Amino acid sequence: MSSYTIHINDKSTKAQTFINFLRDYVKDNVFIEIEELPNETTRKAIEEARQGKLHKVESVKHLFDSI
């Protein structure tokens, strides 16, 4: 099996149309699989959380005051 990575700027209308086409196409074709991965910012945040680098606050008020 071959794997391909496609980076898509999903903010554009054309990109959303293409993504919707792929999702619909996959429904009828079991030989194609789409694996959705988080973007770089999210992956970094997940890794920091796993390392315990979290911002802790005492209450919601303190949270909003710190923003």
1-29 per-position pLDDT tens digit: 788 888 888 889 999 999 999 889 988 88
> How many independent structural domains does the chain possess?
1
Residue 66 pLDDT: 82
Q: How far apart are CA 30 and CA 33, in angstroms?
A: 7
Residue 13 pLDDT: 94
The answer to whether position 21 is within a domain reads yes
Containing structural domain, residue 30: 13-66
The answer to whether position 8 is within a domain reads no
Report the pLDDT averaged over residues 33-62: 90
The answer to whether position 40 is within a domain reads yes
Map 40-61 to HEC letters.
HHHHHHHHHHHCCCCCCCCCHH
Q: How far apart are CA 1 and CA 58, in angstroms?
A: 51
Whether this prediction's pTM lies above 0.85 is answered by no
Task: Report CA-CA distances (Å) from 56 to 39, 40, 47, 50, 52.
Answer: 24, 23, 17, 14, 11
The answer to whether position 47 is within a domain reads yes
Tokens 């293409």 -> residue: 18
The answer to whether position 4 is within a domain reads no
The answer to whether position 1 is within a domain reads no
Residue 10 pLDDT: 84
